[in-house]
Amino acid sequence: MKFGIVVSEGPYTHQAADTAYHFAKAALDKGHEVPRVFFYHDGVNVSSSLTVPPQDERHIQKNWSTLASENEIDLVVCIAAAQRRGILDENEAKRQGKDAANLAEGFRISGLGQLIEMGIEYDRMVMFGD
Amino acid sequence: MPDAKKFLYVNRKAPYGTIYALESLEVVLIAAAFEQDVSLAFLDDGVFQLTKDQNTDGIGVKNFSPTFRALGDYEVTKLFVEKESLEERGLDPSDLQEITWEDEDADWEEKPSIRIVSRAEMADIMADQDVVLSF
C-alpha cells in the first residue's frame, strides 16, 4: 500500500514528527511504500539544518534525512509555511536577499499541490499533528 | 469527474490564536484547482471560523473570514457545520456569515453553501470520504 504522510507539528515540542517517523519506518519494514512525506504548519521546522539537540537526544531532522536517503522518500516542505517560519533553501535565500539558507539535506521546498497530489495518487493519507 | 476523490477538510480550531485555520484555508484554495470533490467540515471551536462580523483590529492579525465567501467561485460549495458544536458554544446558525454559491445548472441561482448537520450525520459524512485532512 502507498502511504502519504503529513507532519503538521514542529519537532521536540510535539511528538508528531517522531510518531510519523516511527510509522513510516514500520510501514516500510512491512513492505509498504512511503513515496512522500509532506511537512506543513510548524512541521516545516523539522527541516532546519540548524537544529542542534543535546547529544544524548534523538536528532529528528537527521532521522528523517537518513530514512529518506535510504528509502528514496521525497521530503517536501510547504513553501508558504516555510517562508513564514524562516526555512529557506539556497534559491529562496538568494531570491529574498537573505544571507543564509537552512534547508537540511534530503528535504525540498515545494507547494501545497504536492500534498493534494498524495491524496489523489496514494492509497492512504495519514496526518500526524496535535 | 469519474475518478475524482472525495476530500474532506476538517476544521476544529478557532480562527485566531493559532494558525491552523488560516493554513487550512490555504490548502483548500490550492485543492480547488485539482478538480476533486471537496467538502469542508467545521466542528468543535472550528465553528467560530464562520461567525460573521469578525474584527481583528485589536490583535494585529489579518481577518481572513471574507475568504470563505469566495469559496463558491472555486467550486467549493459544501461547508458542513456541526449543530452540537454550535449549541455547545451558545451559537446559532444566524451567527454565521452568509456563504453562497451560484448553481450553473439552475440558471446561476444563489444557493447556501453552509449546511448544518448533526454529529451523527457528520460521522456519516466523514465515513464517506476518500481523504480526510484534519486541521
pLDDT digits (tens, 9 = 90+) for A75-129: 999 999 999 999 999 999 999 999 999 999 999 999 999 999 999 999 999 999 9
Contact B27 A129 (CB under 8 A): no
Residue B32: closest C-alpha in chain A: A116
Instruction: Write the DSSP assignment of B67-131 as a string of letters.
Output: GGGGGGGGT---EEEEHHHHHHTT--GGGBPP-EEEEGGGTTEEEE-EEEE-HHHHHHHHHT-SE
> What pLDDT, on the 0 to 100 scale, is given for residue A120?
97
- Residue A3 or residue B2, greater confidence: A3
Percent pLDDT > 90 in chain B is: 97
- State the cell numbers at B94: 444566524
Confidence of residue A19 (pLDDT cuts 50, 70, 90): very high
Q: Does domain A2-128 have CATH number 1.20.1730.10?
A: no
Residue B113 has pLDDT above 90, yes or no: yes
CA distances from A107 to A39, A76, A127, B118 (A): 10, 6, 18, 42
Question: Does residue B66 sit within a domain?
Answer: yes
**Residue B16 sits in which domain range?**
6-134
Contact B34 A116 (CB under 8 A): yes
Question: Does residue B1 sit within a domain?
Answer: no
Of B23, B130, B131, the CB nearest to A40: B23
How high is the mean pLDDT of chain B? 96
CA distances from B5 to A40, A56, A116, B37, B46 (A): 22, 45, 11, 6, 24
Question: Does residue B102 sit within a domain?
Answer: yes
User: What φ, ψ does residue A106 adopt, rounded to 5°?
Assistant: 95, -15
Cα pseudo-dihedral A9, A14, A15, A18, rounded to 10: 50
Q: Is A126 on the interface with B (CB under 8 A)?
A: no
Question: For the whole model, what pTM was predicted?
Answer: 0.95
Residue A130 has pLDDT above 90, yes or no: no
Contact A113 B26 (CB under 8 A): no
Question: Does residue B62 sit within a domain?
Answer: yes
Q: Which residues pair with B134 in a beta bridge?
A: B10
Question: Does residue B100 sit within a domain?
Answer: yes
> What is the least distance, in Å, from the CA of A4 to any CA of chain B?
11
CATH of the domain at B32: 3.40.1260.10
